[in-house]
Amino acid sequence: MRMKVKEVAKLIDGEVIGDENIVITGVSGIKEAKPGDLTFIANKKYKNLLYTTKASAIIVGRDITNSVNATLIQVDNPSIAFAKIMSFVGPEPIVFPPGIHPTAIIGKNVSLGKDVSIQPYVVIEDYVKIGDKTVIGAGVYIGHYTEIGNECLIYPKVVIRERIKIGNRVIIHPGTVIGGDGFGFATVKGVHHKIPQIGTVEIGDDVEIGSNVTIDRARFDKTYIGNGVKIDNLVQIAHNVYIGDNSIIVAQVGISGSTVIGKNVIIAGQAGIIGHITVGDNSVIGGKAGVTKNVPPNTHVTGFPAREKWEDMRFHAYIRKLPELLEKIKQLEEKIEKLEKKDG
């Protein structure tokens, strides 16, 4: 990479504050940046790094107007602007050209869209439908009657079982399993009998699902992942869970059966949510939280059992006061003893 700051600014509709002729030779995070690097600040939390970074130029929001050494490029959304530059300077993305590899095994009555790319050792069962420009990575398995939309990118070794519906522009990372049986048994005299899981999984448009995720099929009806939902690695989504549009589920989260997650919810890493409850729109579940009851909309809960964040913080504050409390009680005891003696 070798570009002047003013050229960078042009690409991202940015306004330059400082020397617009500095030459940028790389991109990097603000902490790791070296002279010559372009970096960015998206979160005001890291604002003080403006004064310590060695970067030569920083993409910032419109409200940031000065730094110590670096030239600033003001834009509406620094993350998106930086992403644009990154795709510009990054290595050529790997492209899988259209075509069906001769080793792919494709069942009867399969409908393949225009310009699909079916990589080696893919197995596609009967009656599958795949939309235009979708890429099916090496060794993927797609079960009977499953439908996948347009422009999807299914990475190697993904397993999508039968009768699943997946929308358009969905990305699924390697090793993920969609449509495994829900975990349901009827126990008679200590023996667990399998309950058939005759439902399915339906995934909306623009969903991204990480690596080695598991999304179970419904007992009946469907497990549902709304449009624009983003799911990180190693997440467990049980049967009949419903996730509203644009929610974000971070790594290693587990959501139990039949729970309903609203829209624009954020569930941080390793949180767990019990079954048959509702998490309202725009709520935030803290990392490692254990959610045991309904969460209203627009609520931030943390801890286990999860409660509202302010309540959880107060709880921890009280706990921290315990040593002091013990000391006080000891003093009170002594005072009372004195009073009792005098009184006696």
Residues annotated as catalytic are: 239
- Cα 1 to chain centroid distance, Å, stands at 30
Q: 63, 65, 68, 91: which one contacts a copy of itself (CB under 8 A)?
A: 91
Q: φ and ψ at 343, to 5 degrees?
A: -65, -40
Within 8 A by CB and 6+ apart from 257, the residues are 182, 183, 184, 219, 238, 239, 240, 241, 275, 276
The footprint of a copy of itself on residues 19-48 (CB under 8 A) is 27-29, 31-32, 42
Per CB under 8 A, contacts with a copy of itself among 118-147 are: 119-121, 123, 125, 137-139, 141, 143-144
* Contact pick of 10, 47, 62, 192 for a copy of itself (by CB under 8 A): 192
Residues between 305 and 334 with contacts to a copy of itself, criterion CB under 8 A? 305, 314-316, 318-319, 321-323, 325-326, 328-329, 332-333
Angle at 47 between CA 44 and CA 52, to 5 degrees: 160
Check residue 80 for interaction with a copy of itself (CB under 8 A): yes
The smaller minimum CB distance to a copy of itself, of residues 45 and 65, is found at: 45
Question: Checking DSSP bridges between strand 117-118 and strand 99-100, what pairing results, if any?
Answer: parallel
- Residue in 10, 44, 47, 194 binding a copy of itself, rule: CB under 8 A: 194
Residue 106 touching a copy of itself (CB under 8 A): no
Residue 216 near a copy of itself by CB under 8 A: yes
- In the complex with a copy of itself, which residue's Cβ is closer, 180 or 297? 180
- Cα–Cα distance for residue pair 301/312, rounded to 1 Å: 8
Among 219, 224, 265, 285, indicate the residue that binds a copy of itself (CB under 8 A): 219
Is 127 within 8 Å of 112 (Cβ atoms)? no
Q: Is residue 97 involved in binding a copy of itself (CB under 8 A)? A: no
Q: Which residue, 5 or 234, is less far from a copy of itself as judged by CB?
A: 234
Q: Quick one: DSSP state of residue 48?
A: G
> Is 151 within 8 Å of 171 (Cβ atoms)?
no
Near a copy of itself by CB under 8 A: residue from 4, 181, 297, 300 = 181
- The span from the CA of 206 to the CA of 186, in Å, is 37
- Binders of a copy of itself among residues 270 to 299 (CB under 8 A) are 270, 272, 274, 287-288, 290
Q: Which amino acid does the sequence have at 92?
A: E
Helix (H, G, I), strand (E, B) or coil at 339: helix
